[in-house]
Structure 1
Amino acid sequence: MSALQDLPTSADERPAPNADVLFIGGEMPLWQHLANAVMLAGLVTIAVAVVWVMSSLPRIDGQVPVHGLELPAKVARDSIGVPTITARSVRDGYFSIGWVHAQDRIWQMEWQRRIGAGRLAELVGAPAVETDKFMRTLGLYRLAEASFERLDKPTRDALIAYAQGVNAWIDAHRHRLPPEFLLLGTRPEPWRPADSLVWQRMMAMQLAGDWREDLLRAKLATRLDAKRLNELWPGTTDGPITLSAATAQSLLALVPEAVRPRQASNAWVLSGTLTESGKPLLANDPHLPFQAPSLWYLLTVEAPGLMVSGGTVPGVPFHLVGHNGRIAWGMTTTHADTVDLVIEKPSADGQSYQIGKQARPFLRRDETIRVKDAADVTITVRETQHGPIISDLIGGARPDQVVALRATALEANDLTAQAFLKMGRAVDWRGFTQALGDLHSPALNFMYGDIEGNIGFMTAGRIPRRKSGDGTMPAEGWSDRGDWIGWIPFDKLPQSLNPKAKRLINANNQVAGPRYPFLITAHWPIGARAERIDQLLQDRKALTTFDMSAIQADLVSLPALELRDLLGSPTTADPRANEALRLLTEWNGRMEPDRPEPLILNAWIEEVWRGLFADELGEDFAHFRAVRPFVLIDALTRHRHWCDDVTTAKAESCDEQVQTALDRAMARLSGQYGASVVSWRWATAHRAVFDHPILSAVPMLSRLGRTEIETGGDDFTVSRGTFAPGRFQHVHGAGLRAVFDLSNLSASTFVVAVGQAGNPLSRHYDDQALAWRSGRGFAIGQHLDHMATLELVPSY
Structure 2
Amino acid sequence: MLKKIMIVSLSVLLVLIAAASGGSYYMVQRALPTIEGEILTAVEKPVRIVRDQYGVPHVYAETEKDLFFAQGYVQAQDRMFQMELSRRSIGGRLAEVMGDKMVQVDHFNRTIGFRRAAEEGMSKVNPETMKALQSFADGVNAYIEDHQDNLPVEYTMLGFKPEPWTPLDSLSIGKYMAWELGTNMRTELFMGVALPKLDNEKLMSLLFQYQDANPTIVRQTEMEKAIEVDQAEERPKAALSKETVDSIFAALDLTEQKALPGEGLGSNNWVVSGKKTESGKPLLANDMHLGLGAPSTFYQNHLVMPGKYNVSGAIFPGVPGVIVGHNEKVAWGFTNLAPDVQDLFIEKQNPNNPHQFEYDGKWYDAKVIQEEIKVKGAESVKAEIVVTRHGPVITNTLDTYVSKDQAPSQTIRTAEKVEQPLALRWTAHDATDEITAMLSFDKAQNYTEFEAAMKLFQAPAQNVVYADVEGNIAYHAMGSIPIRSKGDGLSPVPGWSSEYEWKGYIAWDELPHAINPEKGYFASANNKPVDGDYPYHISYDYDLPYRATRITQMIEEKDKLTLEDMERMQSDWLNLQAKEHGPVFIKALESAKLNDTEQKAFDVLKKWFENPIDDPQLAGPVVYHAMYNKMYTRFFEPHLTEEFFYHFNRTAMPNYGLEVILRDPDPIWFKGTDDTKEKAIVDSFKQAVAWMADENGKNPEKWQWGKVHTITLAHPLGSIKPLNLLYNNGPYEYGGSNGTVGMAGFSRGKPFSIVLGAPWRFVIDMNDVNGAKDALTMGASGQLGSDHYQDQTDLWLEGRYKTMHYTDADVEANGERTLTLQPE
TM-score by length of 2: 0.87
| Residue in 2 that maps onto 1:698 | 720
Question: 1:220 aligned to 194, 198, 201, which one?
Answer: 194
Contact 1:346 1:400 in 2 (8 A): no
Superposed CA offset, 1:182-236 (max 9, x none): 1100111101000100000001112124211111221222431211211223569
Contact 2:272 2:522 in 1 (8 A): yes
| Residue in 1 that maps onto 2:98 | 124
2:31 partner SS? coil
| Residue in 1 that maps onto 2:393 | 389
Residue 319 (1) aligns with residue 350 (2): no
| Residue in 2 that maps onto 1:586 | 607
Hey, what's the Cα distance between the residues in 1 that align with 2:396 and 2:21? 48
Residue 558 (1) aligns with residue 582 (2): no
Hey, what's the Cα distance between the residues in 2 that align with 1:717 and 1:174? 46
Q: Quick one: structure 1 residues 623 and 722, their matched pair in 2 at CA, closer, same or farther if it must change by over 3 Å? A: farther
Task: Give the share of equivalent positions with the same residue, in percent.
Answer: 33
Hey, what's the Cα distance between the residues in 2 that align with 1:46 and 1:717? 42
2:755 partner SS? strand
Hey, what's the Cα distance between the residues in 1 that align with 2:550 and 2:536? 27
Equivalent positions of 1:344-359 (< 5 A) are 344-349=347-352, 350-359=354-363
Hey, what's the Cα distance between the residues in 2 that align with 1:56 and 1:109? 16
Question: 2:339 aligned to 336, 353, 365, which one?
Answer: 336
Residue 433 (1) aligns with residue 407 (2): no
The worse-fitting range, judged by mean Cα deviation, of 251-260 and 481-490 is: 251-260
Hey, what's the Cα distance between the residues in 1 that align with 2:798 and 2:435? 33
Hey, what's the Cα distance between the residues in 2 that align with 1:607 and 1:783? 52
Contact 2:104 2:398 in 1 (8 A): no
Residue 503 (1) aligns with residue 521 (2): yes
Question: 2:597 aligned to 528, 551, 576, which one?
Answer: 576
Higher relative contact order (CA 8 A, sep 6+): 2
Q: Quick one: structure 1 residues 616 and 52, their matched pair in 2 at CA, closer, same or farther if it must change by over 3 Å? A: same
Hey, what's the Cα distance between the residues in 2 that align with 1:685 and 1:789? 41
Q: CA deviation at 1:153?
A: 2.3
Over the aligned positions, Cα root-mean-square deviation in angstroms equals 2.2
Hey, what's the Cα distance between the residues in 2 that align with 1:226 and 1:644? 13
Hey, what's the Cα distance between the residues in 2 that align with 1:43 and 1:509? 49
Question: 1:145 aligned to 119, 123, 130, which one?
Answer: 119
Q: Quick one: structure 1 residues 409 and 639, their matched pair in 2 at CA, closer, same or farther if it must change by over 3 Å? A: farther
Residue 380 (1) aligns with residue 406 (2): no
The worse-fitting range, judged by mean Cα deviation, of 493-502 and 533-542 is: 533-542
| Residue in 2 that maps onto 1:73 | 47
Q: CA deviation at 1:239?
A: 3.8
2:727 partner SS? coil
Hey, what's the Cα distance between the residues in 2 that align with 1:491 and 1:309? 29
1:265 partner SS? strand
1:119 partner SS? coil
Q: Quick one: structure 1 residues 48 and 249, their matched pair in 2 at CA, closer, same or farther if it must change by over 3 Å? A: closer
2:344 partner SS? strand
Q: CA deviation at 1:45?
A: 13
| Residue in 2 that maps onto 1:33 | none
| Residue in 2 that maps onto 1:751 | 775
Hey, what's the Cα distance between the residues in 2 that align with 1:450 and 1:245? 52
Contact 2:487 2:500 in 1 (8 A): yes
Hey, what's the Cα distance between the residues in 1 that align with 2:628 and 2:234? 29
Q: Quick one: structure 1 residues 43 and 662, their matched pair in 2 at CA, closer, same or farther if it must change by over 3 Å? A: closer
Q: Quick one: structure 1 residues 630 and 405, their matched pair in 2 at CA, closer, same or farther if it must change by over 3 Å? A: closer
| Residue in 1 that maps onto 2:38 | 63
2:350 partner SS? coil
Residue 680 (1) aligns with residue 682 (2): no
Q: CA deviation at 1:640?
A: 4.3
Pairs aligned (count): 748
| Residue in 1 that maps onto 2:537 | 519
Code of the aligned partner of 1:584: L
The worse-fitting range, judged by mean Cα deviation, of 620-629 and 573-582 is: 620-629
Contact 2:486 2:499 in 1 (8 A): yes
The worse-fitting range, judged by mean Cα deviation, of 771-780 and 377-386 is: 771-780
Residue 93 (1) aligns with residue 61 (2): no
| Residue in 2 that maps onto 1:16 | none
Hey, what's the Cα distance between the residues in 1 that align with 2:18 and 2:546? 59
2:573 partner SS? coil
2:440 partner SS? helix
Hey, what's the Cα distance between the residues in 2 that align with 1:64 and 1:762? 20
Hey, what's the Cα distance between the residues in 2 that align with 1:248 and 1:673? 38
Code of the aligned partner of 1:632: L
Hey, what's the Cα distance between the residues in 2 that align with 1:240 and 1:318? 46
The worse-fitting range, judged by mean Cα deviation, of 612-621 and 556-565 is: 612-621
Hey, what's the Cα distance between the residues in 2 that align with 1:434 and 1:341? 32
Superposed CA offset, 1:349-380 (max 9, x none): 22311111111112111000001111100011
| Residue in 2 that maps onto 1:670 | 693
Hey, what's the Cα distance between the residues in 1 that align with 2:291 and 2:240? 30
Equivalent positions of 1:195-206 (< 5 A) are 195-206=169-180
TM-score by length of 1: 0.90
Listed as ranges, the gaps of 5+ residues in structure 1 are 1-41
Equivalent positions of 1:371-520 (< 5 A) are 371-395=375-399, 399-411=418-430, 413-520=431-538
Question: 1:247 aligned to 238, 244, 249, which one?
Answer: 244
Code of the aligned partner of 2:677: C
Residue 604 (1) aligns with residue 627 (2): yes
Contact 2:355 2:386 in 1 (8 A): no
Question: 1:134 aligned to 83, 89, 108, which one?
Answer: 108
The worse-fitting range, judged by mean Cα deviation, of 134-143 and 783-792 is: 783-792
Hey, what's the Cα distance between the residues in 1 that align with 2:274 and 2:444? 21
Listed as ranges, the gaps of 5+ residues in structure 2 are 1-16, 210-232, 401-415
Superposed CA offset, 1:234-285 (max 9, x none): 5697342111011111111112535786730000000011111111000000
Hey, what's the Cα distance between the residues in 2 that align with 1:385 and 1:691? 41
Code of the aligned partner of 1:224: L
| Residue in 1 that maps onto 2:3 | none
Hey, what's the Cα distance between the residues in 1 that align with 2:19 and 2:190? 57
Hey, what's the Cα distance between the residues in 1 that align with 2:371 and 2:136? 29
1:372 partner SS? coil
Q: Quick one: structure 1 residues 786 and 288, their matched pair in 2 at CA, closer, same or farther if it must change by over 3 Å? A: closer
1:534 partner SS? helix
Q: CA deviation at 1:493?
A: 1.2
| Residue in 2 that maps onto 1:632 | 658
Hey, what's the Cα distance between the residues in 2 that align with 1:45 and 1:614? 46
Q: Quick one: structure 1 residues 793 and 395, their matched pair in 2 at CA, closer, same or farther if it must change by over 3 Å? A: closer
Superposed CA offset, 1:621-646 (max 9, x none): 34444784552243354554645997
Q: Quick one: structure 1 residues 656 and 520, their matched pair in 2 at CA, closer, same or farther if it must change by over 3 Å? A: closer
Superposed CA offset, 1:60-115 (max 9, x none): 222222x2111111211122221111112222111111000000000000110111
Q: Quick one: structure 1 residues 610 and 795, their matched pair in 2 at CA, closer, same or farther if it must change by over 3 Å? A: same
Superposed CA offset, 1:40-61 (max 9, x none): xx99998765323211112222
Code of the aligned partner of 1:378: K
2:314 partner SS? strand
Hey, what's the Cα distance between the residues in 2 that align with 1:486 and 1:654? 43
